[in-house]
Amino acid sequence: MHRYIIPIALSVLVALFLIQSQGTASVGKLFGPVMVLWFCVLGLLGVLSIAQTPAVLVAFNPLYGAAYFQTHGNHRPDILGAVVLAVTGGEALYADMGHFGKRPIRFAWLGFVFPALVLNYLVRAPCCCATPPPPKTRFNLLAPEWALYPLIALATWLP
């Protein structure tokens, strides 16, 4: 499928450009359901994986984060940079605050997006710290093999 990557990417960009000219309401009508489905899939994959390995729930103990930060002193700026990058991914959500208002944005983030991301990232964290890292990303390992291409198709439609 490697030879199809550039044509697919160009097709998606052209489609986005054509839809964008119709206004943000048309873009929202198209991508709103796609985003809801994406975060539902992320949360579901996280829940299924946690059910198989509930030991990952110890990551909610802040003492582990503090100990990791303390023992990796030389990498503190890198660790903080990664945290900032992870958190700022949500800033795009706040870019629409003038369009939707604070209350819907807070409700969507705290009640839906954030829990789905926590469930999904929680299960991928041990693989990120593994030495040597696994040959596939943890996300690829979360989903059943038959679901990989449908997930790639879904991710392709994300804005």
Domain enclosing residue 106, as ranges: 31-156
Give domain status of residue 14, yes or no.
no
- Both tokens of 92, joined, read 């795009």
Q: pLDDT 10s per residue in the chain (159 long)?
A: 788 888 988 888 888 788 777 777 777 777 778 888 888 988 898 888 888 778 778 877 888 878 877 887 677 777 777 767 666 655 555 555 556 677 887 788 888 888 888 888 777 666 555 556 666 555 666 778 888 888 888 877 665
Q: Are 97 and 116 in contact (CB under 8 A)?
A: no
In a domain, 17, yes or no: no
Identify whether 90 is part of a domain. Answer: yes
Residue 3 lies in a domain: no
> Would residue 125 count as lying in a domain?
yes
Q: Is residue 139 part of a domain?
A: yes
Residue 22 domain-assigned?
no
The total domain count for the chain is 1
The pTM of the full predicted model, rounded to 2 decimals, is 0.67
Which of 143, 142, 113, 150 has its CA nearest to residue 125?
Answer: 142
